[in-house]
Amino acid sequence: MNHESDYYSKIDKLSQIARGLLDIHNAGRIHKDIHSGNILYYNDNFPYISDLGMCQPANNENQSVKQEGIYGVLPYMAPEVLRGYQYTKASDIYSFGIMMNEYISEETPYNNIPHNHALAIKICKGLRPNIFEYTPKLLADLITNCWDAKAENRPTAKELYQTLINKYNDRYEDSDTESQVNGYNDKIKLNRTSEKRSNNIQTHPQAIYTSRLLNFKNLPEPVNSDSECFDCQLDELDLLEINQDEENNTE
| Catalytic annotation, residues | 33
Beta strand spans in 134-240 (E): 212-214
Contact 75, 209 (CB under 8 A): yes
Single out the residue of 97, 137, 133, 66 nearest to residue 224, CA to CA: 97
Helix axes 89-105, 7-26, angle to 10 degrees: 170
CB atoms within 10 A of CB 183: 16
Contact present, 6 and 14 (Cβ < 8 Å): no
Would you give the DSSP letter of residue 71? E
Q: What residues contact residue 108 under an 8 Å CB cut-off, 6+ apart? A: 36, 75, 102, 203, 207, 209
Q: What is the DSSP letter of 220?
A: P
In 3-state terms, the chain is what percent helix, strand and coil (to 5)? 45, 10, 45
Determine contact, residues 97/199, Cβ cutoff 8 Å: no
Q: Which amino acid is at 184?
A: Y
